[in-house]
Amino acid sequence: MLNAFYEDPKKWAFTFQAYAMLSRVRGMARSVADFRAESAAYKLETQDKYRKRPRATQDSVADEEETAVVAASSSPSKKSRAADGSAAAGGDIDTSPALALQVGDSFLPLQVGVSHWVTTADGAALAPAAAGQEPLFTLTVTANHVAVLSTVGGPIGISAAGTPNNTLAKGGVVALMPGSLFSVGSLGVAVVDGEEVAEAPEKNVLIYERSVLSDRYCFAANCRQTGLFGELSWRVYCDWWRFIMGSFKGLNLDGLVYLKCAPTVCHTRLQKRGREEEADVGLDYLEQLHARHESWLTEGRISPQHKLPVLIVRTDQEFETDEARSKEMVAKVRTFMEQLSKRKAAKAKAARALRM
């Protein structure tokens, strides 16, 4: 029965595409903090392996580590392909900060839960306490966006109700609402609503190789176009996709980067890469995906509510060994991200003004 199932693409196409979309949802619903923690853990693990390797193999292992850690820190579960595709420049994460600490022009997001804090060695900034390090204070953020501050390493100056002489002694506890102020040494710290972070210069950007939009408008659409999805499968998929999109705020994106490349060039690069799992990918399939990407990202055949700013970067020209070309491409993406960040901050500011 299983053999008959797998031998007929029309039978397993829907299952595979549904699983692919769920994996995309899982990746996009994670926060920047998740990726940083994963990157740090991976780096410690690979460094430990590196120290245990014979000296003769350490250089090659170091190269592997650097590539792996960069991929883990900048992407959830995927990174770019040489083949035709699109990248989604990070959107609102479902686990967006409940509150934030503002120190000067810097914002430190606070998720619901407990966090431990110290000052940096020069006393010029706050930082999360490292494992085994005694914190100066602990913050417990509740679901209703209240920060409960507990002092651990000494007195802390507080500008909030219920703190005699505006000082919280060691072991003291106080609840801080958005707008409360406190000081640690010479540092002035404000507790602000998580939405304030949107107005700060964008420092945390998530880039996805693909998104739930590419699942719908490229891969699932291609299944429909080529007959792998029948009418019933297509309607079920679209209904389910709309439900998912309406249920998870973290799936909303700010913009799209389209790495546009001729299918023939993609196919040549794919063959050069020589991955076993890609050996059967033919030029005709790449041409089909290229047509779907063009329909979506160039011609704009998409539902109005899902239209986003799109940066098109031509990648036909060799860039792997051309440093000048690589820097030019990176500069375009960075400029695009800065524009998205300013646009997002302006929208957040306008939305708050309407609520006042």
Residues in the chain: 356
Rounded CA separation 154/169 (Å): 7
Rounded CA separation 14/220 (Å): 8
Q: How many CA atoms lie within 13 A of 135 on its CB side?
A: 18
State CA 153 to chain mean position distance. Answer: 34
Which residue's structure tokens are 């051309």? 322
Which residue's structure tokens are 């998580």? 194
Asked if residue 46 lies in contact with residue 65, where contact means CB atoms within 8 angstroms, the answer is: yes
Among the listed residues 7, 38, 209, 338, the single catalytic one is: 209
Does residue 196 carry a catalytic annotation? Answer: no
Rounded CA separation 136/328 (Å): 45
Buried b (16+ CB within 10 A) or exposed e, 181-202: ebebeebebbbbbbbbbbebeb
Q: Residue 253 carries which DSSP code?
A: -
Rounded CA separation 173/137 (Å): 10
- Closest among 107, 143, 47, 185 to 348, alpha carbons compared: 107
The residues that bridge with 204 in the sheet, in sequence order, are: none
Which two three-digit tokens encode residue 204? 């945390």
Asked if residue 205 lies in contact with residue 338, where contact means CB atoms within 8 angstroms, the answer is: no
| Residue 283 three-state SS | helix
Rounded CA separation 233/235 (Å): 6
What angle, rounded to 10 degrees, do the helices at 263-273 and 283-293 form?
Answer: 130
Q: Active-site residues: which are they?
A: 209
